Homo-oligomer: A and B are copies of this chain.
């Protein structure tokens, strides 16, 4: 059982506290880093979830990388509820990695292990691409 307690602060600001003692500040979209929007958190969660899978799967495959970045883009519905209809993940891996194994790791994550993608895929179409780059870049 995962439990979170969230408290209203003021205006539209809320702070969530996890049982493991992590504080998450949320707010409506502003330019000053006042807090992430709830919908931004969904995309962040997706990158973290699949990212952890990739790290874990590549380790099991005994493949090393020097850097890993994941960019995610979410396209919202124009009507209420403004859910993401399309989500695109772009994986950037730095290192000497075989493309087929990277692809396999990503598919294992998105389709089997990643809890977040498996919760969101009933609502949004999730696509991905990946780039394997030189470690020097």
Contact = CB atoms under 8 A, between A and B. Distances in A.
Interface of A: 1-8, 12, 14, 16, 18, 20-26, 28-49, 51-52, 55-56, 67-76, 80-84, 112-120, 122-124
Given A14-B48, A122-B123, A7 B69 contact: yes
Main secondary structure of the interface of A (DSSP, over half): mixed
Q: In the complex this chain forms, how many copies of it are found?
A: 2
- For A7, A14, A32, A34, the residue with the greatest tally of chain B CB atoms inside 10 Å of its CB is A14
Contacts of A48: 6, 14, 16, 24, 26, 37-38, 41
A119 B84 contact: yes
B44 A115 contact: no
Contact of A115 (B6, B12, B33, B76): B76
